[in-house]
Amino acid sequence: MTVPRQDGLYPGVSEQEYHGDKDSLSSSGARLLLSTSPAEFRYQMDHAPRPKKVYDYGSVCHALVLGEGVQFEVLDPAVVGLTADGKQSQKPTATTMWKQADAQARVAGKVPIAKWDMDQAELMAAEVCKHPLASALLAEGYAELSGWWTDQETGVRCRLRPDYLPIDKPRRRPLIVDYKTTDDANPEKFAKSMRDYGYHCQGDWYLDGFFVITGIDADFVLIAQSKKAPYSVSVHYIDPEDMVRAQGQNRRARRLYAQCRETGRWPGYEELNILSLPTWLRKEIDLANAIEENTMEGEIH
């Protein structure tokens, strides 16, 4: 399937096709644009990043939990982790067989995953199924739909790919559900992940796109799951005040993207910048300096 040219939500668009669309701006692209520079954004858009195993694992977890997503190939050390003399290696991932199997999977468009990681990913998926709220959110709906729309203010072509859209219930706002694997699903710890990765901006991006495409207001919910046993699950609704802040951030990203496309300039860090110590360190230094000065004055007198 080629990338659709009309606004709408579409099933059946592969990850490669979706992420390969260089004529539209995604939420992750908008966040990258604001957190780095237009020059770095442009470089990353023009140069596909090399696969990272940490992302491979998360992609497989997504596929197991959502029932849609990447295709994967399980690499069993008893099969592809052998030494040249046919014995099982103590370091299977370092063997020639393993490296060849890994490369062949990627050529075939699949994500290679070690059997021990696959076993863990299956345990994680089982924990999501046990969680009363998370399992209800994922009970019936549409996974990995792709959507495109045009921003009215800037004319920028935008895209979104929500993890899950539960089937509408009568008299209830539809939900857009996003599943995240994380180091810690504790709500206080995951709040830091939201700040670090801009999940509030992602939420607003999805809600904005969904409204433009469908004319329907929706809500955004995050399911977080720890990658460490016992693979705890937590469900989150982002503070509405922070979603309003995200609207402003996303507008800035679209305006900057539109300006760069119009001028053909993707600048780096061209201005003179002032570097400042963080407030907490300033206070610490000021206190230490004041104590030292008072001590010296006491010794003089």
The secondary structure of 36-69 as a DSSP string is: S-HHHHHHHHHSPPPP-HHHHHHHHHHHHHHS-S
Domain assignment present for residue 188? The answer is: yes
From the list 70, 86, 79, 68, the residue with the least C-alpha distance to 114 is 79
Domain assignment present for residue 66? The answer is: no
Domain assignment present for residue 62? The answer is: no
pLDDT reported for residue 67: 86
Length of the chain: 301
From the list 106, 127, 115, 240, the residue with the least C-alpha distance to 179 is 127
DSSP result, the chain: -PPP-SSEEES---HHHHHT-TTSB-HHHHHHHHHS-HHHHHHHHHSPPPP-HHHHHHHHHHHHHHS-S--EEEE-HHHH-B-TTSPBPSSGGGSHHHHHHHHHHHHTT-EEEEHHHHHHHHHHHHHHHH-HHHHHHTSSEEES-EEEEE-TTT--EEEE--SEEEPPPTTS--EEEEEEEES---HHHHHHHHHHHTHHHHHHHHHHHHHHHHS---EEEEEEEESSTT--EEEEE--HHHHHHHHHHHHHHHHHHHHHHHHT----S-S-------HHHHHHHHHHHHHHHHHHHHHH-
Domain assignment present for residue 139? The answer is: yes
Task: Record the tokens describing residue 111, joined without a space.
Answer: 């994500």
Expressed as residue numbers, the domain containing 146 is: 8-30+130-263
Please state the domain count of the chain.
1
Domain assignment present for residue 287? The answer is: no
pLDDT reported for residue 168: 67
Domain assignment present for residue 258? The answer is: yes
pLDDT reported for residue 300: 62
Domain assignment present for residue 13? The answer is: yes
Residue 254 C-beta-side C-alpha neighbours within 13 Å: 24
CA-CA distance, 112 to 142, in Å (whole number)? Answer: 25
From first to last of the 301 residues of the chain, give the pLDDT tens digit: 678 889 999 998 988 899 889 999 999 999 999 999 999 999 999 987 776 777 888 889 989 998 887 889 899 888 888 888 888 888 998 999 999 999 999 888 889 999 999 999 999 999 999 999 999 999 888 999 999 999 999 999 999 999 998 876 655 788 999 999 999 999 999 999 999 999 999 999 999 999 999 999 999 999 999 999 999 999 999 999 999 999 999 999 999 999 999 999 999 999 999 999 999 999 999 999 999 888 876 666 5
CATH number at residue 199: 3.90.320.10
Domain assignment present for residue 41? The answer is: no
pTM, rounded to two decimals: 0.87
Phi-psi region of 171 (alpha: psi -120 to 50; beta: other; left: phi over 0): left
